[in-house]
Amino acid sequence: MTSKQAKFVRLTLSYLVVLFMTAVILYPIIWIIGSSFNPGNSLSGSSIIPKNATLDHYKYLFDKEQSDYLIWYWNSVKISFLTMLFSVMLISLTAYAFSRYRFIGRKNGLLTFLILQMIPNFAALIAIFVLALVTKLLDTHLALILIYVGGAIPMNTWLMKGYLDTIPKELDESARMDGAGHFRIFWQIVMPLAKPIISVVALFTFIAPFTDFILARIILRSEENFTLAVGLYDLISNQFGNEFTKFAAGSVLIAIPIAMLFLSFQKYFVSGLTAGGTKG
C-alpha cells in the first residue's frame, strides 16, 4: 500500500468515526424533538419526522390554567442564575487567594478541596436533608442555592487556580509599585485576563442546577417550588401519569437558556483558546 493509499484509508476511517459519533449524539436529540410534535401521549409510535405534527403539547405547557410549567421554568432559571452569580464570585476570590498568596494551611486547603470534589453529592443526601430540616430551609430555593454553591467551589477552584497560575505575577508587582491595592489588582488586572475561565465556570455552575434532579427532589416538597426536572418527572410519575409527549416538549425547551448562555460566552472561549495557543 502506497503512502497516498494509506493516507486515504486513515482519512476515510476518521470521517466514518466522526459520522458515527455524530449520529450517536444527534439521534436522541432529533428523536425527542420529533416526539414533542407527535399527537397523543405515548412515545411508542413516535417517529423522527411526525406525520401529523402538532403544537398542542407546547400550548399545554404554556397554559397557566393547565400546567405549572412556567413556574417551574422560572424557579430553575432563578436558582441557576443565583447559583452561577454567587459561585463565580466565591470561586474567583478563593482561586485568586490560592494562586497569588502563600499562607498557613494553603496546601492542606487545596488537598481538602481535592478530596471533597471526589465525593459525589448524593453520598451526603441524608446529611443534606437533616441539615435543611434543622435549619428550617426544607422546601426552599435558598437551601438548593447554598448546596449548589458549596458543591461547586472545590472542583471549580482547582480549575480556576490552574488558569490564574498562568497569568504572570509580574503584572501584579507592576501594579503594586504603581500604588494599586490587593482588591484593585484582583478586579482590574487579573479578572479581565481570566474572562475565559470565568465563562467556563459560569457555564458549569449554571448547567448543574438547571438539570439537577436528585437534590431538588430531596429538598423541594410543594409543587409551586418545583424546578423543571422535578416538575417534568411529576408529569409521568403519578399513578395515571402518561404525559410522555408533553415531557418531551418540556425537555426540548430546557436547552434554550443553556444554549443562549453558551452563545453569549462563546467569544471568551475562543479568545481563551487563542491566548493559550500563543502564550509563551
Q: What pLDDT, in 10s, does the model give residues 234-265? A: 877 765 557 788 888 888 898 889 889 888 88
Which tens digits make up the pLDDT trace of 114-149? 888 787 777 788 889 999 999 999 999 999 999 999
pTM: 0.85
Among 95-99, 249-253, 272-276, which range has the highest average pLDDT?
A: 95-99
190: which DSSP letter? I
Non-local CB neighbours of 115 within 8 Å, separated by 6+ positions: none
pLDDT at 7: 84
Q: What is the pLDDT of residues 158-217, one digit of tens each?
A: 989 989 998 888 888 888 888 888 889 999 889 988 998 999 999 999 999 998 999 999
The owner of cell 460566552 is: 265
Q: Which class is domain 64-278?
A: mainly alpha
CATH 1.10.3720.10 residue window(s) in the chain: 64-278
Task: Say which residue, 32 or 74, is predicted with more confidence.
Answer: 74
**33-60 per-position pLDDT tens digit:** 888 888 877 666 556 777 778 888 899 8
